[in-house]
Amino acid sequence: MSKYLKPKDLERIGRWVKKLDSYMLLDRPSDDIVLGVLNLPYKYIGSGRHRIVFDLDNGYVLKVARMGKGIQRIRNEVDLYHSVPFDLKIHLCKIADYGEGWVVMKKLDQKVPRNEQFYKKTKIMHDKFSHFGMKLSDVTDGKKAKMGNVRLSKGKKIVIIDYGNIHA
Ligand SMILES: Nc1ncnc2c1ncn2[C@@H]1O[C@H](COP(=O)(O)OP(=O)(O)O)[C@@H](O)[C@H]1O
Ligand SMILES: [Mg+2]
């Protein structure tokens, strides 16, 4: 059961994820192939190396693993979200729902502006995670935010939308 996904869509995702797991599909299949096989009724809004992302059109996005490694990245993301202290959690995009190989997150569209004020904020966030022994290599270079994985919240906080690679 999911508040965000219909049983039919959960079934489609489940079938796809099972295939990823058992066939150990290590190469990155093209977006077109993944979209065709998944066949979900949601608008595609982007993809990275490990996941394909859909707009649920209700303020949330759905991310589905697009290769075997993506399943572990999602597990890691969910674990991290549920285990970090509040001070760090405010920088992690809200997870609303999840399952094996998929996660529903809040949709954030605003990019982080490239100026001194936000370089400073990025550095502060970087140091906060560092303090807890976590490296943000997918997120910043210590100063500039990596645009694909970081957004700005309504309250102008820097929020990481892809934290599958952050480890405690
Ligand atoms: N919460 C979100 N809100 C809006 N767009 C998103 C969100 N999460 C991901 N995206 C879009 O999907 C792309 C891929 O998502 P990402 O989580 O970075 O996948 P990967 O783990 O494969 O790198 C992002 O670069 C971004 O364009
Ligand atoms: Mg990414």
Which CATH number does the domain housing residue 23 bear? 3.30.200.20
Q: How far apart (Å, rounded) are the C-alpha atoms in residues 147 and 125?
A: 15
pTM: 0.95
Domain identity same for 38 and 57 = yes
Q: Is 112 in the pocket of ligand 1 (CB under 6 A)?
A: no
Which atom of ligand 1 is the closest one to the Cα of 107?
3
Would 40 be classed as within a structural domain?
Answer: yes
Domain identity same for 21 and 63 = yes
* Alpha-carbon separation of residue 23 from 39, 69, 109, 132 (angstroms): 19, 12, 34, 36
Q: Are 136 and 92 in contact (CB under 8 A)?
A: no
Ligand 2 center from residue 153 Cα (angstroms): 17
Report the SS3 class of residue 114.
Answer: coil
Q: Is 105 in the pocket of ligand 1 (CB under 6 A)?
A: yes
Strand residue runs (E) in 66-120: 95-99, 102-106
Would 149 be classed as within a structural domain?
Answer: yes
Ligand 2 center from residue 141 Cα (angstroms): 14
pLDDT digits (tens, 9 = 90+) for 71-125: 999 999 999 999 999 999 999 999 999 999 999 999 999 999 999 999 999 999 9
Domain identity same for 121 and 90 = no
Domain identity same for 133 and 79 = no
Domain identity same for 128 and 47 = no
Ligand 1 center from residue 11 Cα (angstroms): 22
Q: How far apart (Å, rounded) are the C-alpha atoms in residues 110 and 152?
A: 5
Domain identity same for 52 and 95 = yes
The total of structural domains in the chain comes to 2
- Residue-number span of the structural domain to which 121 is assigned: 116-160
Q: Taking CA 42 as the corner, what is the angle to CA 5 and CA 64, rounded to the nearest 5 degrees?
A: 65
